[in-house]
Structure 1
Amino acid sequence: MITLGIESSCDDTAAAVLDDDDTIRANVVSGQDTIHARFGGVVPELASRRHMEAITVVVDEALRRAALDLRDIDLIAATQGPGLIGSLLVGFSYAKALAFTTGRPFVGVDHMAGHLLSAFLEPVKPCFPYLALIVSGGTTALFRVDDFFTFTLLGRTRDDAAGEAFDKVARLLGIGYPGGPAISRYARQGDAERFVLPRAWLEEGSLDFSFSGLKTAVLNQYRQIGDHRDDRLLADLCASFEQAVVDVLVSKSLLAAKQLAVSSLVLGGGVSANTALRTILTDRCRAAGLQLYLPAVQHCTDNAAMIAFAGRKWLQQKGPGSWSDDVFSRSQLGQVSQTFR
């Protein structure tokens, strides 16, 4: 079965072609960073307009790279949510139209399910059950994954997601957008011990996250520096902030693994491309005897290959979607013990 995946949940227009043996024939992503950079964040209306301009070009390019045409596609899978409604509607409606005109089945995929299963796109695949840490601009959450459809929410952010905190801190420091890569560039030259920043551990044993207080602490430090600001101090502040975020993400993940007696951990979401997070989590998991699965960076950020994979699993188990299916802004995996769809 050859699956065409389409992803348009935020500001990346993506299409991928996946064989039934999980070989990725094509994985195309068109970003919008240059459009949103001057605003310091994604502008929903601009994002959806750009998706409309790019969707046909991106899908056609994916098919071209795969050396296929629509007649060769057996299934069309598209992100149904969560995300920006306008952006989602572009990709989901386009997928429905393709499915209708070609007579192929289509399925809607929860974007979070795509991230939770993204490790299966790699040569070495995890075994169930495993723990998954999903870190992105809109989500920071820990899940237990028992099979391709059963995801139990263990903890989530109570305020800002980690990626959102990166963007907001980068904006207040005036160092560019997207915030994650901008802060990391400065952090590589900085001293993470220079500034003492808080870690929100919350209640004892809690697997929830909170980054709003950390964001405020960075702002206060930045104001205190005042006229003495220079690139060195900025690098140290970025390094200290990044270290504070990584400490909490890693420590909570290891705590969850201990509480659940799970021996495998999967990392996913756009922030999982952060070098410091990947390095420290690798070291800590090795020391704790945990097997860590790190998808390739292109499979961590928003992409359509993970949507194609999750969609194919859904079709095999549950059947095709309905023409009446609509997009949603909040994940269907957002409740404790909630299962896929």
Structure 2
Amino acid sequence: MFRICPKSMHFARPNVRRPGFCVHGHVAMAIRHYKVLAIETSCDDTCVAVLDRRENGAAPQILTHLKETLDSQRDGGIIPTRAHLHHQRTIGPLVNRALQETKSRDDIELICVTRGPGMPGSLSGGLDFAKGLAVAWNKPLVGVHHMLGHLLIPRMQSNGAAPSFPFVSLLVSGGHTLVVLSRSLGQHEILCDTIDIAVGDSLDKCAREIGIRGNMIAKNMESFINENLDEATSGASPMNLPSPLRNQNGRMNVQKFSFAPFLTAVRQHLERDLHSYSERERRSMAFQIQESLFDHLITKLRLVITMQPDIFSQVKHLVCSGGVGANKRLQEKLQTEFSDFFDSFYYPELELCTDNAVMIGWAGIEINENLGLTTELGVSPVKKWPLTELLTVEGWICR
């Protein structure tokens, strides 16, 4: 048996006891305490969290936060079929462990899972499992936009109070590089995007060219630089790195990012066998690569601010989130360069910057409580899902 929200014509199950209002203003029943199971499988991390939504007005407590990462070091990158198998093998045991650790098997009232964007095979591993649990437990499901999770996670500690809307986010990861204006929970505008690859992807590929290895290559390069800053800043092996999309030949500056040229420049710089470079030279190259990529981020963000003064006269909060957002050097440069434009800067804790299930759980809570939405059980993963189309994608249920 279903009832229909007359303005949206979306179906909703009756008696779903969730707090808040639907996007069309219909009142939903409020409750004060519930637990949330959250799942994130958009790429190569299988992530599970259980959140305790203790009461209205208090931030949820993280009861457990688990992650299993595919070891892709030997492959030189993520192979989608291996990532899919990784999620298939790990999602069940990880969820079972989370429920056992928190003694929450009978207490989950809401299931939140990444629906997109991401690799379809990876997304399906978590989404299908979450749909199965929603059926078995007869609990509501919320399919969450991955980048919305990164964008909203700084609000969790204040229980959604700060940063307050409107605010601007610099979302920087291996798959996305965006400047987003968030006017409200459901209304987002992309102010700047990349025309080629993401900053995290460029960092990984450039780091691999100079011999950095590991699962989190950009993070490993940051550590390599910080091991000896004197060597890193020595100027050994000076590189000719680009400043993409700048004013050249009379062309106007472009409000876009471009990170592919950095990889080309690094390859052109390596004129001899990598083993012939000293560690000092490699550390200096790593520092120059990281600085140049971050300078490009700074330059383009500053251009966006300059070109749209009406927007930024109203915006006083900057969020920097996503895996690259955990980089301390980037955080330092942002605060140095933009302290005159923003009153507050928000950076998630290190473990909440990279892909994680906590951010999916919190975004699901906000969507469910403030917009009154859940997700149909027949939805499929969304490989490409612009934030600007957050609420127009098929499958939302309005209570």
TM-score, length-scaled by structure 1: 0.91
Residue 9 of structure 1 deviates from its aligned partner by 0.5
1: CA distance, partners of 2:253 / 2:190 = 15
Q: Which residue of 2 aligns with 1:220?
A: 268
Q: Which amino acid aligns with 2:72?
A: H
Q: 1:175 aligns with which of 193, 204, 212?
A: 212
Q: 1:93 aligns with which of 128, 140, 151?
A: 128
Larger radius of gyration: 2
1: CA distance, partners of 2:138 / 2:346 = 37
Q: Which amino acid aligns with 1:297?
A: L
Q: Report if aligned partners of 2:240, 2:269 keep a CA contact under 8 Å in 1.
A: no
Relative distance call for 1:6 and 1:256 in structure 2 (3 A) is same
Q: Which residue of 2 aligns with 1:127?
A: 164
Q: Which residue of 2 aligns with 1:154?
A: 191
Q: Deviations over 1:54-78 (max 9, x none)?
A: 112221232234x232320110010
Q: Which amino acid aligns with 2:241?
A: L
2: CA distance, partners of 1:257 / 1:57 = 46
1: CA distance, partners of 2:283 / 2:277 = 10
2: CA distance, partners of 1:24 / 1:254 = 36
Residue 151 of structure 1 deviates from its aligned partner by 1.2
Q: Which residue of 2 aligns with 1:69?
A: 104
TM-score, length-scaled by structure 2: 0.79
Give matches, 1:36-75, under 5 Å.
36-65=72-101, 67-75=102-110
Residue 156 of structure 1 deviates from its aligned partner by 0.8
The 10-residue stretch of structure 1 (107-116 or 247-256) with the greater mean CA deviation from structure 2: 247-256
Residue 270 of structure 1 deviates from its aligned partner by 0.7
Q: 2:115 aligns with which of 63, 80, 87?
A: 80
Residue 328 of structure 1 deviates from its aligned partner by 1.2
Q: Deviations over 1:137-175 (max 9, x none)?
A: 111111001121111111111111111111211222222
Q: Which residue of 2 aligns with 1:187?
A: 225
Q: Which residue of 1 aligns with 2:243?
A: 199
How much is the aligned-residue C-alpha RMSD, in angstroms?
A: 2.0
The 10-residue stretch of structure 1 (177-186 or 11-20) with the greater mean CA deviation from structure 2: 177-186
**Aligned partner of residue 199 in structure 1, secondary structure:** coil
Q: 2:141 aligns with which of 99, 106, 115?
A: 106
Is residue 117 from structure 1 mapped to residue 144 from structure 2 by the alignment? no
Q: Deviations over 1:316-338 (max 9, x none)?
A: 314221121110111232xxx54
2: CA distance, partners of 1:309 / 1:238 = 35
**Aligned partner of residue 155 in structure 2, secondary structure:** helix
Q: Which residue of 2 aligns with 1:142?
A: 179
1: CA distance, partners of 2:301 / 2:224 = 26
Relative distance call for 1:41 and 1:332 in structure 2 (3 A) is same
Q: Report if aligned partners of 1:137, 1:163 keep a CA contact under 8 Å in 2.
A: yes
Q: Deviations over 1:261-293 (max 9, x none)?
A: 122100111111112112221222335454110
Q: Report if aligned partners of 1:269, 1:300 keep a CA contact under 8 Å in 2.
A: yes
Q: Report if aligned partners of 1:270, 1:302 keep a CA contact under 8 Å in 2.
A: yes
Q: 2:379 aligns with which of 298, 304, 325?
A: 325
Q: Which residue of 1 aligns with 2:284?
A: 236
The percentage of counterpart residues that share the same residue type is 31
The 10-residue stretch of structure 1 (93-102 or 196-205) with the greater mean CA deviation from structure 2: 196-205
Q: Which residue of 2 aligns with 1:26?
A: 64
Aligned residues: 335
Q: 2:327 aligns with which of 265, 274, 278?
A: 274
Q: Deviations over 1:63-113 (max 9, x none)?
A: 234x23232011001000111111111100000000100000101111011
Q: Which residue of 2 aligns with 1:14?
A: 47
Q: Report if aligned partners of 1:201, 1:248 keep a CA contact under 8 Å in 2.
A: no
Residue 225 of structure 1 deviates from its aligned partner by 7.9
Q: Which runs of 5+ in 1 are unaligned?
A: none
Q: Deviations over 1:188-217 (max 9, x none)?
A: 331275334112144645331001111111
Relative distance call for 1:228 and 1:30 in structure 2 (3 A) is closer
Q: Deviations over 1:7-66 (max 9, x none)?
A: 00001001112233322222111112xx2001111111111111111112221232234x
Q: Report if aligned partners of 1:89, 1:327 keep a CA contact under 8 Å in 2.
A: yes
1: CA distance, partners of 2:293 / 2:208 = 17
Q: Report if aligned partners of 1:135, 1:272 keep a CA contact under 8 Å in 2.
A: yes
Q: Report if aligned partners of 2:326, 2:347 keep a CA contact under 8 Å in 1.
A: no
**Aligned partner of residue 60 in structure 2, secondary structure:** coil
Q: Which runs of 5+ in 2 are unaligned?
A: 1-33, 54-58, 393-399
2: CA distance, partners of 1:192 / 1:2 = 52
Relative distance call for 1:129 and 1:191 in structure 2 (3 A) is same
1: CA distance, partners of 2:246 / 2:234 = 22
Is residue 285 from structure 1 mapped to residue 354 from structure 2 by the alignment? no
Q: Report if aligned partners of 2:165, 2:183 keep a CA contact under 8 Å in 1.
A: yes
